[in-house]
Amino acid sequence: MTARRSGIPATTYPVERFTLDNGLRVVLTPDRSAPVVGVAVVYDVGIRSEPEGRTGFAHLFEHLMFQGSENLEKLAHFRHVQGAGGTFNGSTHLDYTDYFETLPSNALERALFLEADRMRGPRLTEENLRNQVDVVKEEIRVNVLNRPYGGFPWLKLPPVMFDTFPNAHDGYGSFADLESATVADAADFFARYYACGNAVLAVSGDLDVAEATALIERHFGDVPARPAPDRPDFTEPDLSAERRETYTDPLAPLPAVASAWRVPDPITDFAGYLPYVVLAEVLTDGDASRLVRRVVQRDRAATNIGGYLGFMGDPFDVRDPTALLLQAHLPPGGSVDKVLRTVDEELDRLATDGLDEGELERTQARMATHLLRETDAALGRALSMAVLEQQRAEPALLNELPRWIGEVTGEQVRAAAATLRPERRASIDVVAGGAK
């Protein structure tokens, strides 16, 4: 079947790409409409790259990158960005770690200097390491251990679905692994993964390409060259039988359930992957979506239900293996079995009968709107293009994503739904242990 012609246009953000002699890949996307720039550096190392015995290390190292660098003391990065009127942060994902700033465009060189300086080497000391281990442990307490539904489902479901350490382990980390980390471990991690050849720099917004190129060469050109490490093979076979586990959350007031099914490789089979991205939205996006109408509004079997691609929720920044996830919270006394049976019934109905009139177009319009909104800001554009360059060597794909979403056909969505069978499903049930 040929692709359906989309009424959603492609965007036209300009893209300039080049690679420095030391291996650093650079993406520039100028937009002179506002005096703002977004700067993003993405390193090809994430949770899945952590060695056994060092769970949580990718996230811990993200913290260490803010503790001073070759020429700057601790907190200097914060002071220089905020002093220019900018904001900054970093985040750790399954397949990469990013660092980013938004600043007035006249502070572009400041941001480039700061990122280049810590690319040469962060300040790895025993004091900084112990301090940041304590910070990460407190994050785990606040976000997982002492929060209702903490780690649900992104930490709880992977070990049910996957068998290999890279895909199944706790990316936040165990206290024992974090406490046993040494400065030598951190230095080895930096030397291995934080090489120029393993990074992408993206700058978006109010910039002149020639001037920005000269500034990038000035600040990054003499960072010592180190090649990218070989990327491990994270593949593992699909499920051949349903997997399901249950745990009690002492803080959760109500039961919950999350399920996941493997989907095609988002990099090597992008055309096969896209229908699943649309399917997740058909099922759960908005009050008119199938599962919200059936499970929440009609049957009242759940108080809410959501669906998305990838355990961390962004469909276009993850490699294989990944999954389509559905998660629901139930009312008091609600039945997880009933919710799962209803999901199966709705998937069967969609696979047999296809989409209703106007259902696909409505969903695609909403999805395109979300994509366009996310990349309207200079920083959103820089981050997206950096990851697309990192994983696909194709940052201009950002322009095509809304149109590609719009070209997914109803038949492709129907066929995708037909593959989400119970025997390919992994599920995690939360038993409420909190106060009623």
pLDDT tens for each residue of 320-366: 999 999 999 999 999 999 999 999 999 999 999 999 999 999 999 99
Q: Do 268 and 201 share a domain, yes or no?
A: no
Is 8 contained in some domain? no
Q: How does residue 83 score in pLDDT terms, banded at 50, 70 and 90?
A: very high
Sign for the CA dihedral angle at 33, 34, 37, 38 comes to negative
Q: Do 195 and 307 share a domain, yes or no?
A: no
**Chosen domain end from 189, 220, 251:** 220
**Chosen domain end from 186, 220, 254:** 220
Is 198 contained in some domain? yes
Q: Do 275 and 128 share a domain, yes or no?
A: no
Q: Do 170 and 252 share a domain, yes or no?
A: no
Q: Do 169 and 42 share a domain, yes or no?
A: yes
Residue 2 has pLDDT above 60, yes or no: no
pLDDT at 77 (0 to 100)? 94
Q: Do 31 and 166 share a domain, yes or no?
A: yes
Q: Do 395 and 350 share a domain, yes or no?
A: yes
Is 207 contained in some domain? yes
Helices of type H across 74-125: 76-83, 108-120
Q: Cα(3)–Cα(5) distance, rounded to whole angstroms?
A: 6
Q: Do 269 and 191 share a domain, yes or no?
A: no
Is 226 contained in some domain? no
C-alpha separations of 335 from 82, 143, 328, 341, 359 in Å: 50, 27, 11, 10, 29
Give exposure, 152-169, as e/b (b: 16+ Cβ within 10 Å).
Answer: bbbbbbbbbbbeeebbeb
Q: Do 304 and 200 share a domain, yes or no?
A: no
Q: What is the DSSP letter of 200?
A: E
C-alpha separations of 65 from 71, 73, 92, 121, 123 in Å: 13, 12, 12, 9, 8
Q: Cα(157)–Cα(170) distance, rounded to whole angstroms?
A: 10
- DSSP H or E stretch at residue 192: helix 183-193
Work out the average pLDDT over 362-377: 93
Q: Do 215 and 249 share a domain, yes or no?
A: no
pLDDT at 361 (0 to 100)? 94
Q: Range of 149's domain?
A: 16-220
Whether the pTM exceeds 0.75: the reply is yes
Is 258 contained in some domain? yes
Is 4 contained in some domain? no
Is 11 contained in some domain? no
Q: What is the CATH number of the domain that holds 65?
A: 3.30.830.10
pLDDT at 4 (0 to 100)? 55
**Chosen domain end from 187, 220, 253:** 220
Is 182 contained in some domain? yes
Q: Cα(339)–Cα(256) distance, rounded to whole angstroms?
A: 10
Work out the average pLDDT over 62-84: 94
Q: Give the bridge partners for 260, in sequence order.
A: 325, 426
Q: Do 109 and 142 share a domain, yes or no?
A: yes
Structural domains in the chain (count): 2
Q: Do 182 and 135 share a domain, yes or no?
A: yes
Render pLDDT for 246-283 as a digit per residue (tens, 0 to 9): 999 999 999 999 999 999 999 999 999 999 999 999 99
Work out the average pLDDT over 96-118: 97
